Copies of this chain bind each other. A is one copy, B any other.
Amino acid sequence: MVAADKVVLLDSMFSMYGMRVRVALAEKGVEYEFKDENLLDKSTLLLEMNPIHKKIPVLIHNGKPVCESMMIVEYVDNVWKNDDSPLLLPCDPYKRFQARFWADFIDKKVNDSQKKVWTMKGKEQEKGKEEFIEALKLLEGELGDKPYFGGDNFGFLDIALVPFYSWFYAYETLGNFSIEEHCPKLIEWIERCMQKESVSKSLPDPKKVYEYILYLKKTFGFE
């Protein structure tokens, strides 16, 4: 890391997309300033740095903004290459494609279905739970017997998925179901990831996430 590097992260504590970036920066040993955004009253800096999507997370590296969580993870991987930190994206073209494909799958299917679990009730919520479990089972199949998605080393796809774990307690409590019952191997993988400080220190307490969700539900009337 160049001494003059200035790294700022516009983020929000309970965002799984922000967590992805925090995990990647921790894996690479990059120091940064964390700026907690109020998503109900976004800062001028956020709107200037991400005028198209107006969303966190945004990484500001020496004044230049990088946004969209997995694009930031890739940027971090490309900029901070050193012997002490592993590459997050595989070099092999096919493995690289597989990592990207499943990260995109998470952004679409896991993200869509998890929202239904905590914002809906009744049949809609049941449908959300089914879709959520189905998506996780496909990911469990992709993991197979490997310790991490890319093989022996923690990497890109692990970073894409593991932040959702911090929301599992809330999904299970609000949806009255057990994720472990359906996906025991995925839970083992989570426990393996949580042994890494880069993960455990970047993810908030699941009970705090649950309280945050209750606050969101009350504020926005998802009942």
Interface residues of A (CB under 8 A from B): 52, 64, 66-68, 71, 74-75, 78-79, 93-94, 96-97, 100-101, 104-105, 138
Contacts and interface: CB of A to CB of B under 8 A. Distances in A.
Contact of A94 (B75, B94, B100, B104): B75
A101 B68 contact: yes
Contact of A52 (B67, B71, B105): B105
Given A71-B101, A100-B71, A101-B71, A94 B138 contact: no
B97 A66 contact: yes
14 contacts: A52-B105, A52-B138, A64-B94, A66-B97, A67-B101, A68-B100, A68-B101, A71-B100, A71-B104, A74-B100, A75-B93, A75-B97, A78-B93, A78-B96
A86 B66 CA distance: 25
Contacts of A104: 68, 71
A46 to B, nearest CB: 16
B79 A93 contact: yes
A38 B47 CA distance: 44
A50 to B, nearest CB: 10
Nearest to A72: B97
Nearest to A62: B94
